[in-house]
Amino acid sequence: MADIKVQNLQKEFGVGEDRVVALENVNLAISGHVFVSIVGPSGCGKSTLLNILSGIETPSSGTVTITQDSHDAEPGYVFQAARLLPWRTVMDNLMFVQREKDAAARERCQRYLDMVQLGDKGDKYPGELSGGMQQRVGIARAFSIEPDVLFMDEPFSHLDAITARSLRRELHQMWVKTKKTVLFVTHDVGEAVELSNRILVFAKGGVLKDDLNVELPFPRDPSDDAVAVAKAQVLRKFEELDLVAS
Amino acid sequence: MATMVSSAPSQRSRMRRVLASPTTARVLFPFFVIALWYAIYFAIDSRIFPTPLRVAEFMWEEVTLTSGVRYSSVAENLYVQFAISIARLTLGFFVAMTLGTLIGLGMGVSKSVDAFFHDWVVAVLAMPALVWALFFAVAFGFGHLAPVLTVIFAGIPFVIINVREGVRNTPKELIDMAKAFEVPENRITRHVFLPSLMPFFFAAMRYAYSIGWKGLVIAEVFGSQVGMGWTIKFWYDAHRAHGVIGYAIFFILFALALEKLVFDPLARRAFKWRPSMNAYQLAEGDFSGVTQEGLLVQEDQIGTTMEVRGMEGGPQDG
Averaged pLDDT, groups of 10, chain A, 246 residues long: 87 85 89 91 86 88 84 81 93 93 93 90 92 91 90 89 87 88 91 92 86 85 86 86 66
Q: B98: domain CATH number?
A: 1.10.3720.10
Q: Distance (Å, rounded) from C-alpha B217 to C-alpha B147?
A: 8
**Is A13 in CB contact (< 8 Å) with chain B?**
yes
In this predicted structure, the answer to whether residue B308 has a pLDDT above a threshold of 70 is: no
* pLDDT for position B277: 47
Nearest to B296 among A22, A80, A244 (CB): A80
Considering the domain boundaries, does residue B182 fall inside one? yes
Nearest to B181 among A97, A232, A236 (CB): A97
* pLDDT for position B297: 27
Q: Which amino acid is at B271?
A: F
Nearest to B302 among A48, A56, A187 (CB): A48
Q: Distance (Å, rounded) from C-alpha B169 to C-alpha B108?
A: 9
* pLDDT for position A245: 58
Residue pairs spanning A and B at CB distance below 8 A: 118
Smallest CA–CA distance from A234 into chain B, residue: B318
Average of pLDDT values for B25-49?
Answer: 87
Interface test with B, best of A72, A77, A83, A99 (most B CBs within 10 A): A83
Considering the domain boundaries, does residue B17 fall inside one? no
Considering the domain boundaries, does residue B35 fall inside one? no
**Is B194 in CB contact (< 8 Å) with chain A?**
no
Partners of residue B305 in chain A, C-beta under 8 Å:
42-43
* pLDDT for position A123: 93
Question: pLDDT above 90 covers what percent of chain B?
Answer: 47
* pLDDT for position B138: 92
Question: DSSP characters for B117-155?
Answer: HHHHHHHHHHS-HHHHHHHHHHHHTTSSHHHHHHHHHHH
Q: Distance (Å, rounded) from C-alpha A109 to C-alpha A98?
A: 9
Partners of residue B289 in chain A, C-beta under 8 Å:
86, 127
Partners of residue B314 in chain A, C-beta under 8 Å:
235, 238
Considering the domain boundaries, does residue B33 fall inside one? no
pLDDT tens digit string along B260-274? 899 889 888 888 887
Which among A189, A160, A156 has a CA at the least distance from the CA of A171? Answer: A156
Smallest CA–CA distance from B198 into chain A, residue: A87
Q: Are strands A76-78 and A20-31 parallel, antiparallel or unpaired?
A: unpaired
* pLDDT for position B317: 32
* pLDDT for position A244: 65
A75–B290 C-beta distance less than 8 A? no
Q: How confident is the model at residue B35 (pLDDT cuts 50, 70, 90)?
A: very high
In this predicted structure, the answer to whether residue B314 has a pLDDT above a threshold of 50 is: no
Instruction: Find residues 28-57 of chain A whose CB sits inside 8 Å of chain B.
Output: 41-43, 45-48, 54-56
A86–B308 C-beta distance less than 8 A? no
In this predicted structure, the answer to whether residue B301 has a pLDDT above a threshold of 80 is: no
Q: How confident is the model at residue B310 (pLDDT cuts 50, 70, 90)?
A: very low
Which among A154, A240, A157 has a CA at the least distance from the CA of A203? Answer: A240
Which among B249, B213, B227, B218 has a CA at the least distance from the CA of B58? Answer: B249
B195–A77 C-beta distance less than 8 A? no
> Structural domain of residue B118, as residue ranges?
87-254
pLDDT tens digit string along B92-143? 999 999 999 999 999 999 999 999 999 999 999 999 999 999 999 999 988 9
Degrees to nearest 5, angle at CA A187 with A181 and A192: 45
In this predicted structure, the answer to whether residue B305 has a pLDDT above a threshold of 50 is: no
Strands in A35-39's sheet, in edge-to-edge order, are: A76-78, A149-153, A181-185, A35-39, A198-203, A207-213
A55–B179 C-beta distance less than 8 A? yes
CB atoms within 10 A of CB A43: 25
One-letter-per-residue 3-state SS of B212-255? HHHHHHHHHHHHCCCCHHHHHHHHHHCCCHHHHHHHHHHHHHHH
Q: Are strands A198-203 and A35-39 parallel, antiparallel or unpaired?
A: parallel
Q: Are strands A207-213 and A61-68 parallel, antiparallel or unpaired?
A: unpaired
**Is A155 in CB contact (< 8 Å) with chain B?**
no
Degrees to nearest 5, angle at CA A242 with A236 and A246: 160
One-letter-per-residue 3-state SS of A51-88? HHHHCCCCCCEEEEEEEECCCCCCCEEECCCCCCCCCC
> How far, in Å, are B103, B123, B142 from residue B52 at the CA level?
46, 42, 33
pLDDT tens digit string along B39-89? 988 888 777 788 999 999 999 998 888 877 777 655 678 888 899 999 999
Partners of residue A188 in chain B, C-beta under 8 Å:
310, 312
**Is A177 in CB contact (< 8 Å) with chain B?**
no
Q: Which amino acid is at B68?
A: G
Considering the domain boundaries, does residue B189 fall inside one? yes
Partners of residue B304 in chain A, C-beta under 8 Å:
42-43
Considering the domain boundaries, does residue B263 fall inside one? no
Q: How confident is the model at residue B8 (pLDDT cuts 50, 70, 90)?
A: low
Q: Are strands A20-31 and A149-153 parallel, antiparallel or unpaired?
A: unpaired
pLDDT tens digit string along B148-176? 999 999 999 999 999 999 999 999 999 98
Question: DSSP characters for chain A?
Answer: -EEEEEEEEEEEESSGGG-EEEEEEEEEEEESS-EEEEE-STTSSHHHHHHHHHTSS--SEEEEEEEESSTTPPPEEE-SS----TTS-HHHHHHHT-SS-SHHHHHHHHHHHHHTT-TT-TTS-GGGS-HHHHHHHHHHHHHHT--SEEEEESTTTTS-HHHHHHHHHHHHHHHHHHT-EEEEE-S-HHHHHHH-SEEEEEETTTEEEEEEE---PSS--TTSHHHHHHHHHHHHHHHHHTTTT-
| Domains and their CATH numbers in chain A | 2-75+147-241 (3.40.50.300)
Nearest to B180 among A77, A188, A243 (CB): A77
Sequence-separated (6 or more) residues with CB below 8 Å from residue A142: A76, A77, A78, A150, A152
Considering the domain boundaries, does residue B30 fall inside one? no
Partners of residue A97 in chain B, C-beta under 8 Å:
178, 181, 183
Q: Which amino acid is at B203?
A: A
Peptide bond preceding B184: is omega within 30 degrees of 0, i.e. cis?
A: no
Partners of residue B176 in chain A, C-beta under 8 Å:
56
* pLDDT for position B152: 96
For chain B, the C-alpha Rg in angstroms (whole number) is: 27
Residue A185 and residue A152 in contact, taking contact as beta carbons nearer than 8 Å: yes
* pLDDT for position B315: 34
CA B215 to chain centre: 13
* pLDDT for position B56: 92
**Is B178 in CB contact (< 8 Å) with chain A?**
yes
A235–B177 C-beta distance less than 8 A? no
Domain total for chain B? 1
Interface test with A, best of B277, B307, B309, B311 (most A CBs within 10 A): B311
A239–B315 C-beta distance less than 8 A? yes
Considering the domain boundaries, does residue B233 fall inside one? yes
* pLDDT for position B75: 63
